[in-house]
């Protein structure tokens, strides 16, 4: 079983349970075949939903560190309450990014904080499609719209999105880059 730690252990501003978050992450790690130790740090002081994933070491046994603002784990119908579904979709994308970063063909990927909006949209589409294939239900239209906003509204853009959504083994340089200033 994957070792998972969640901070804070007790939440003060939101109705979240660190044990429930850890259980979601353990389930994701099993589905996504991630055996690395995982640290999840939740910033409960903001309702925003920014997330990032990084490796604390460069080797295959690296600890995965996920930083997430509480809005990414929230039930959008009951603010400040936890949603296991939203948490799985958000944390799943971050686990896939971390797993990708362990591969040689992602060594050139910038840190999450350095990704352009287009790079972020492309990687999110690639991750969300893979989450769908392990039994989660990401909203494909949400990711398609975000992708279109970064790459344009055209048939060839939709074809590129469809390729990303269906892919399982792309490298960093296989993800599209913007060809205009839409980013």
- Print the domain residue range for 74: 4-102
Locus of tokens 């494909």: 140
User: Does residue 166 share a domain with residue 82?
Assistant: no
User: Does residue 72 share a domain with residue 152?
Assistant: no
Residues 6+ positions from 140 with CB-CB distance below 8 Å? 128, 129, 132, 165
Which among 79, 102, 125 is the end of a domain? 102
Average pLDDT, the chain: 95
User: Does residue 77 share a domain with residue 159?
Assistant: no
User: Does residue 119 share a domain with residue 170?
Assistant: yes
User: Does residue 136 share a domain with residue 56?
Assistant: no
Which among 51, 80, 102 is the end of a domain? 102
Cis peptide before 32 (omega within 30 of 0): no
User: Does residue 94 share a domain with residue 8?
Assistant: yes
Q: Is residue 98 part of a domain?
A: yes
Q: Is residue 96 part of a domain?
A: yes
Say whether pLDDT at 182 is over 70. no
Task: Count Cβ atoms within 10 A of the Cβ of residue 49 and give its class: 0-12 exposed, 13-18 middle, 19 or more buried.
Answer: middle
User: Does residue 60 share a domain with residue 91?
Assistant: yes
Q: Percentage of the chain with pLDDT > 90?
A: 92
Q: Is residue 42 a contact partner of residue 7, using CB atoms and an 8 Å limit?
A: yes
Mean pLDDT (whole number) for 32-36: 96
Say whether pLDDT at 64 is over 90. yes
Q: Is residue 48 a contact partner of residue 69, using CB atoms and an 8 Å limit?
A: yes
pTM of the shown model: 0.94
The SS3 assignment for 29 reads helix
User: Does residue 81 share a domain with residue 20?
Assistant: yes
pLDDT in tens, 96-153: 999 999 999 999 999 999 999 999 999 999 999 999 999 999 999 999 999 999 999 9
DSSP code at position 133: H
Q: Is residue 15 part of a domain?
A: yes
Check residue 56 and give its pLDDT. Answer: 95
Locus of tokens 């992708």: 147
User: Does residue 121 share a domain with residue 31?
Assistant: no
User: Does residue 135 share a domain with residue 98?
Assistant: no
Residues 6+ positions from 138 with CB-CB distance below 8 Å? 89, 128, 129, 131, 132
DSSP code at position 113: G
The SS3 assignment for 82 reads strand
Calculate helix-pair angle for 84-101, 117-133, nearest 10 degrees.
Answer: 110
| Sequence-ordered strand ranges (E) for 51-124 | 51-55, 64-69, 74-75, 78-82
User: Does residue 139 share a domain with residue 74?
Assistant: no
Q: Is residue 182 part of a domain?
A: no
Alpha-carbon distance 68 to 51, whole Å?
4
Q: Is residue 32 part of a domain?
A: yes
| Tally of structural domains, the chain | 2
Q: Is residue 180 part of a domain?
A: no
Q: Is residue 143 part of a domain?
A: yes
């Amino acid at each position: 079983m994957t070792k998972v730690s969640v901070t804070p252990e007790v939440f003060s501003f939101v109705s979240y349970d660190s044990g429930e978050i850890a259980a979601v992450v353990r389930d994701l790690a099993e589905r996504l075949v991630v055996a690395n130790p995982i640290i999840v740090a939740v910033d409960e002081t903001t309702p925003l939903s920014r997330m990032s994933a990084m490796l604390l070491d460069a080797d295959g046994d690296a600890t995965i560190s996920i930083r997430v603002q509480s809005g990414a784990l929230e039930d959008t119908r009951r603010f400040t309450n936890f949603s296991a579904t939203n948490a799985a979709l958000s944390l799943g994308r971050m686990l896939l990014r971390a797993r990708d970063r362990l591969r040689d063909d992602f060594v050139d990927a910038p840190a999450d904080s350095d990704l352009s909006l287009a790079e972020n949209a492309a990687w999110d589409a690639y991750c969300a499609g893979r989450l769908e294939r392990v039994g989660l239900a990401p909203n494909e239209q949400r990711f398609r719209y975000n992708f279109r906003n970064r790459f344009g509204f055209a048939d060839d853009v939709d074809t590129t999105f469809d390729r990303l959504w269906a892919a399982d083994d792309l490298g960093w340089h296989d993800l599209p880059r913007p060809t205009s200033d839409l980013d």
